[in-house]
Structure 1
Amino acid sequence: MKKSVSFLTCLLTFPLVFASCGGEKDARVKKATISTFSSYEEMQTFNYYNSFGKIGVNTDPKFITDGNTSARVEIHGNPKGNDPSMYIWCDTKYFSANDFSYVKALTMDVFNESGRETKLTLSFTSRKNKLRKTYPGTEYLLSPGKNNLVYYIDRQVAKYLCDIDALEYIRFDFAQTDSFDTFSLLYLDNLEAHYEYTETEALIKEIERTETTDEILYFEDKIDLFNVNALSYQCSSASYPKISINTNPLYVSQGSKSLKVDVAVNPNEGHPDPWPGIRIEKEYLSSFDFTAYGDDAEISFDILNAGYKTKTLAWNVRDKKDNSLEVAAAVLPAGEWVRVTAKLSDMRYKNGRQGEPLDLSALESFTINYAHEYGGQSYAFYVDNFYISK
């Protein structure tokens, strides 16, 4: 995109101005180059985090898709830290387009010369009115040699989750190395945006959830997955669980779907007592008026431990003052559904860590963590039927 900045910015900002009429060919942009990684000066506008490594300009044609250059990237990282990451900003002289309302996919060519498979995750973040929102990433397993990545964007979901017309940056998360003595070697080229103008406003309008009065999350709608984030207390991001929607009826307590939480073992994790889990954030919780429920109300969910041994669980609720309260704890035998319940009266009257009750009008998060012994086996949890009972 850097070769035609002002022209493409106009197209992105006013995509309907160039609509075809009178039989003329549709002149709206169908594909735009975000980066060809052609200069070190351009790469200096990127941001790098978490002991990233090295990046430079490659001129070896074996690792170039188009033009004369690509990026040569050495991923070093910290085996005990967060995954190395790189941000490409959406408002520089090389790439100046923030409106992705009509972008259906990003594509990029990656040459993996590490001598082994390695992972790369693509995502993007928007910013409007000082509020950042992130569209969920897609993880790719890069085979040795050339890989053609396609990052599809569900525009209906994107419009629900973030401000798709106000992108701030595109994010690349790279897999950690096994030790400080090793690194992954990748070549990046030809990062492009692909546009599609066939959708009408009716098709990309805000999603309306099909929920019952007291439902919090049943995980039946495709957007339910994006109202939950994975996390891991006392661990690096490399140990975060993977979450997905399950459709296997063996792991569903109501309806036809549930949330699957895959907990993997990171052999390089340094903390002996990790607590992986999930969190429902304030952006979603703010749609509920918890003050309208009486003291007899309870908030419950079903959870299935599909692992190999008994686990323990802790459920914490936090408000906008960073006041938190453990509202429930449970023992989870392997292979059994367990209903975990918290009383709204406890949240209303019991003192949290700040020495006062929670502010039910401004809850920030529901966090559910599972104790996971260091060096243990990988396992999965299934969560379903999250609701309020009066």
Structure 2
Amino acid sequence: MHGVLGPRYRPEDLRVGTLVGALAQLDAGVTTLFDWCHGNATPEHTDAALDGLLDSGIRAVFGHGTVKPQPRPGEPHFSEVPHPAAEIRRLRTTRLAADTARVTLAACILGPDYSTMDVCRADFALAREYGLLSSAHVWGNTNRLVPEGYRRLAEEGLLGPDHNLVHGTYLGEEELRVIVESGVSVTSTAAAEVKGNAREPLSCRVAALGGAPSIAPDTELLNGGGMLDCMRAALQLHRLFNNQHIVARQQAQPAAAAAQEIATSGSPITAVSLTHEAVLRWATINNARALRLDHRIGSLTPGKQADLIIVRRDSLGMIGAREPVQALIHFTQAADIRDVMVGGRLLKQDGRLLHPGLAAEKARLLASGDRLLAGTGLPGAAGQG
């Protein structure tokens, strides 16, 4: 993605991809998007992505990131390059100056896994200088560039509620406790994380330490991008890991006690380890808190923005449902999302997106994809499977 496709993106590719992606989220009942944007090679790319977000009507936090190509001879590696302060300054003083606007700004920095400590210091300082949320992709593997990770950042006073980390799958218990106690928000992308990792996503571990887990899809090259998909993946994957933990504990008991538990219940699992209501909180108010927007959105509360969805219950998949939270997570499809409203403005009504140029933008997206893939040999390119 970064090495082959990333350098091929023109500003128009970023605009149409961002626009159609945002419209797909609206269609699936998502009112707010955190656009963790890696593709902004130039100010023109950044402005094109913003054009797509603004045109869609979605509420968004535009996370200004950086491209990550392999360096040319004589150039520093991206891990040694601080976040571009000039671009943050330009956006913060022009298009994304207002924190009360529908689209606001965040700084998507490299963090302790992908940059040096000097770069971490500079990036955290830059985000705080402009009053921005910072966010970093973190795994906690042994090859991270700052070996002490968030413990070192905490020692230097860099952590607080204005920072968000994504993934964190291999973080140890001590480091995770430091993160939660510092007020940092943690966003798990369960469906994407289990593709190449055998460890449990972080949500339940964060909750056990008193934090407020946040969930997201990561990239749609790996899995579906809607929040309905995210909730389902989080629920089922956490139940699977939690059930395995329960069985492991039972196996450590004396054989007679373990056998008695199974004989009593008919199963080694005697209680539901994660509820639908908990996962719904992760997807709504906790996600709003992670974006520092919970004073504006995330719950149906007087005084907040009118970001609302209405779900039909008369489709064949929904008509028998009686418990609304269970039905939302297990049964609802995008076609069941009847109406979507952002800030009081209807963007989907009676099951139909209201964007006037949708057909033309879909055609532009297909043409963009053909151009980006041409000659790469990647799946989906002309002549490839």
TM surpasses 0.5: no
Comparing both structures, which one devotes a greater share of its residues to helix? 2
Comparing both structures, which one devotes a greater share of its residues to strand? 1
TM-score computed with the length of structure 1 as normaliser: 0.26
TM-score computed with the length of structure 2 as normaliser: 0.26
By relative contact order (CA 8 Å, sep 6+), the higher-ranking structure is 1
